[in-house]
Structure 1
C-alpha cells in the first residue's frame, strides 16, 4: 500500500474533507498538510508509548490529537466581552460619574476632619468567618491561593479596619476618625441597586464611647444627602439600639449566646414573612413567649413607646434620647425616626444602629451602620469603643437617577493644539509640553480637518484651540482661538500659557 493510500485509509473516518483531497491527488507522493494537529511517534517507540492501539504498519503513521484540535478551535473563537455577572465596566462617562460621587464622599469626610485609609481587597478568610448564621458568610468569594492560604475578596470593610487598628496598636493615639472608599464582593442574588461587587464609603470613629460618635456619623450622611440635592422628604434614617432587643431577651431569661443569632434572624424582617421570622426564632432556641415579646417590640415606632416598655432608666432608652437631643442641635432631627425593627444583619453590632431608606420604599437600604464596641475581642484582642457606617455606590446612584439628580459630568479639556503642517509636529509638541507643565490639560491632534477638530473640541468642551502654522511660527507666534467667545488672537509662543 502506498503512503497516500495508507493516509487515506487512516484519515477517512476522522476528516470529513479528506476524500476530496485524495480524489484530487490519488497517486501523488507529495507531502500533504493535514487539517489537524498530529503527533509523529519517535523512531523506535513502542506501541505502548502511543495513545491509541495500532498495528505494526500503522504504528509509524501520524496520530491525530482531537483534543488539541478542539482546544485550538476554542482559542480562536470569540470570547464573551461582557464582564462577569454582577460586576461592571466603567467606560469614561461612567468613570466620570463615579469620580464625581467619590469626590463628594471625600469632601464630606474632609469637612468632618476624617483621614483617608485603605486596605487590600484580598484578605484572610478567617477575618470574615463568624458564627451566628450571618448571611454574609454564605456569600464569600473565598478560595485557596497558591501558597495554600485561605483568602477572600472582602465582602465588607469594617473587619479590615479592625485589623489595621490592632496592627497599629499603641503607635496611634485615640480617637481615630478614618474613612475609606473600597471595593467589596458578595456572591448574592442581584436586585435593583444590589450587585456582586460594589464600592463602599466607610466612615469609622475608634475610641469614643459617647453617643457623640453616632451623632457625628449620622451628620455626615445627612450632609452628603443635602450636598447631592436629596431632601428629608425623599430619604429618612431609621434609628434603634440592639440593647433594646438584648433587654427583651434578658426579660425572658434567654441565654446571652442567642443574642447575635436573633439579631441576624430579625434583620430579615421585610425580606421574609413574619411567620418565617417566628419559625426561625423558635428553631434557634427562643421560647414562644420570648418570640412574642420580640415581635411586640419590633412593632414599636416611637421612642416614647420604648420608654414605656423598658422604663426611662434603661441604658438603651438613655442612649437613644441623647442621640435625638444631639440631632436637634445638629439640625437634622427631621431626617431621623425611631424604628425598633432596625437591628442590622452583622453580628458585631452591640448598641445604636441606623439605616437610611428612601421614603417611597422602592430601594433597599441606602446605607447603614452602628456601634461595634466588641469586635476586636472576636479577633483575640482587647476591645475598643467604635462605631461606623458603610454607604454603597450602587443604591445612591439609583436614587439620584430616580429623583433626576444625576449630574451631566462632561469631559473638559483646556487646550487643543493643532499643527497645520506635518513638519510642525515638533513645535506643536513643544507648545503642548509647556502648557502641561503649567497644569493645563492638552490634547494634540494631527492629520484632521478643521471641521472635525471643531466638532471634537465641542464634544470634549475644550476652551481653546491653538493653531501652529508655518508663517506664524517663523515669527515666534501661534494662533489662539477662544472657543467660547470665538475670539482669535496671534500670541507669542512664550505667552500662550499665561493667556486666559
Structure 2
C-alpha cells in the first residue's frame, strides 16, 4: 500500500454516484410496493445486545458477527439480520398494535463472512413481515409482495421463480417415512443441501443421522413429486394430507392473484433455519446463475421465543447485493448519467448577478440548475451543459438582457427561442397557493 493510502475494508462497498443511483432506484421500488400492500416502514438500531442473536441462533452464530464489548462492558454486535430487532419492537407494543401488523424495513446488515459474488460483509435488505394472522391468504400475500418487489424493477416470470414448500408438510413426510421427531432438524438441514450436493450427497448426510438407505431413497423420490402426486401417494396420512391441503390453498391464492407463472412447488426446499414452522419460500433467478434473491416463510413461534409475545408471524428478507447483480445482468440498471434541468450560460460577466437571481428563482420552483463558477467562453459553457446532461440552456447575453429576454436552447434538438426573463423565472411556489408549477 502506498504511503498514506487507506483502502476500503474487504467486503464493504463504496457507493459512487452511479452505484448510489442504482441503490436508490431499488429502495424506491421497494418502498412503492410496501405502500401499495399497506405496509408501514420502521427501523431499529444497527447495534444490539449480542444475546438478542445468540438467543435466536445459538452461540455458533458469534463467529459470523461483528461483535465486541463496548465501553460499558456490554456484549454487543452489529445487526446481522432484522428479525430479532423486529421481534423486540413488536413485543414492546404488541398489546396496542392493530392486527395483523404489516411492517417493512430496509436495514443495513453486517456479517463476517468470506466475500464472494452475491455475498458481502455488509448489505441492505428489504424485510417485510405480517404479524397476527394464520390464514393461508397471509402466506400468499407475503409471497405476492416479494414478487411485486421484483416486478417493480422490471423482472418478470422469465427472470425469476419462487420455490415454495412447507415445513409442516416435510415434517409430516419424515414422520410417514419413520424418521423420528428429534432427527427432523438435522434431516431438514441435509435436504436443504439437495440443490448443491445432489441426491448422493444428501444420502450420505442422511446416513450420518441413521436414516437407512432404502428410507432415504423413498424420501428423496417423494420430495421430487409434484404436490398433488405427493399428497395422493400419502392419502392415508392425515398430517401429510392436512399440510398438503393448506399449501395447495396458498398456491390457489397465488394463482387467483395472477402469479401462477412465477411459482412452483419444491419439497426439497426446507430452509435450514430451525425457527420456520410452516410455509417457506425462496426466489431465484431462472438461470440459476446467482444465489437466492429472497428467502422467507412462516415463523409462528419465534416472537414468543425472542420477545415473549405469542403471535403468529411470517415474512421475508430480500438482499440488494444479488439483486443488483441480476438487474445488471438483465440490463435493468437505470441510466446513471448526470442530469440537470437548466444550465445558465452567461455571454459576459455582466450577466452574472442576473444569472444568480434567475438560478435562485428556478431552484425555488424545484428545477435542477447549474451555471459556471468562473468566467469561461460560451462554447465551453455549452460543453459543460452537455456534460451535465442539461435539458435546456438559458443564454443570457447583453443585447437580449437589455430587451428583457433570454435565449432558450433545447439541448437535445438544438432549437432556440426567446423567452421573457420575467416569465422564465415565474412566481415562487408559495405565491401560487400550492399550484403546481411546470
Same-fold call, TM cutoff 0.5: yes
Residue among 222, 226, 243 paired with 1:302 = 226
In structure 2, distance between residues paired with 1:135 and 1:160: 19
Q: Which residue of structure 2 aligns with residue 488 of structure 1?
A: 416
CA drift at 1:287: 5.1
Alpha carbons 2:345, 2:382 under 8 Å: kept: no
Bigger shift: residues 360-369 or 412-421:
412-421
Residue among 152, 176, 183 paired with 1:227 = 152
CA drift at 1:106: 1.6
Asked whether 1:381 is paired with 2:308, we answer yes
Asked whether 1:165 is paired with 2:90, we answer yes
> What are the within-5 Å matches in structure 2 for residues 189-228 of structure 1?
189-228=114-153
> What are the within-5 Å matches in structure 2 for residues 33-432 of structure 1?
77-81=3-7, 83-130=8-55, 137-251=62-176, 256=181, 258-272=183-197, 277=202, 288=212, 292=216, 295-296=219-220, 299-311=223-235, 313=238, 314-422=241-349, 424-432=351-359
Flag the 1:261–1:150 CA change in 2: closer, same or farther, 3 A.
farther
Gaps of 5+ in 2: 427-436
Q: Which residue of structure 2 aligns with residue 53 of structure 1?
A: none
Q: Which has the higher contact order (CA 8 A, sep 6+)?
A: 2
Bigger shift: residues 224-233 or 153-162:
224-233
In structure 2, distance between residues paired with 1:167 and 1:255: 37
Flag the 1:200–1:470 CA change in 2: closer, same or farther, 3 A.
same
Q: Which of these two proteins has the greater Rg computed from alpha carbons?
A: 1
Alpha carbons 1:468, 1:479 under 8 Å: kept: yes
Alpha carbons 1:281, 1:291 under 8 Å: kept: no
Bigger shift: residues 190-199 or 405-414:
405-414
TM-score by length of 1: 0.76
In structure 2, distance between residues paired with 1:253 and 1:378: 29
Alpha carbons 2:47, 2:77 under 8 Å: kept: yes
In structure 2, distance between residues paired with 1:258 and 1:145: 39
CA drift at 1:240: 0.5
Q: Secondary structure at the match of 2:305?
A: helix
Alpha carbons 2:49, 2:75 under 8 Å: kept: yes
CA drift at 1:480: 3.2
Flag the 1:97–1:246 CA change in 2: closer, same or farther, 3 A.
same
Bigger shift: residues 468-477 or 167-176:
468-477
In structure 2, distance between residues paired with 1:205 and 1:85: 35
Q: Which residue of structure 1 aligns with residue 369 of structure 2?
A: 442
Q: Deviations over 1:408-442 (max 9, x none)?
A: 23332111224444454443222211111111111
CA drift at 1:288: 4.4
CA drift at 1:335: 1.5
In structure 1, distance between residues paired with 2:220 and 2:45: 43
In structure 2, distance between residues paired with 1:341 and 1:415: 57
Flag the 1:131–1:371 CA change in 2: closer, same or farther, 3 A.
closer
CA drift at 1:348: 1.6
Q: Deviations over 1:174-202 (max 9, x none)?
A: 11111122211122223321222111112
How many residue pairs are counted as aligned between the two chains? 424
Q: Deviations over 1:42-77 (max 9, x none)?
A: xxxxxxxxxxxxxxxxxxxxxxxxxxxxxxxx9x92
Q: Secondary structure at the match of 1:395?
A: helix
Q: Secondary structure at the match of 1:177?
A: strand
What CA RMSD, in Å, does the superposition of the two structures yield over aligned residues? 3.0
In structure 2, distance between residues paired with 1:483 and 1:359: 41
TM-score by length of 2: 0.86
Gaps of 5+ in 1: 1-73
CA drift at 1:456: 2.5
In structure 1, distance between residues paired with 2:85 and 2:284: 26
In structure 1, distance between residues paired with 2:315 and 2:349: 59
In structure 1, distance between residues paired with 2:394 and 2:119: 47
Residue among 378, 381, 393 paired with 1:453 = 381
Q: Which residue of structure 1 aligns with residue 433 of structure 2?
A: none
Flag the 1:131–1:101 CA change in 2: closer, same or farther, 3 A.
closer
In structure 2, distance between residues paired with 1:292 and 1:133: 29
In structure 2, distance between residues paired with 1:260 and 1:497: 69
Alpha carbons 1:419, 1:467 under 8 Å: kept: yes
CA drift at 1:309: 4.4
In structure 2, distance between residues paired with 1:154 and 1:90: 21
Flag the 1:152–1:472 CA change in 2: closer, same or farther, 3 A.
same
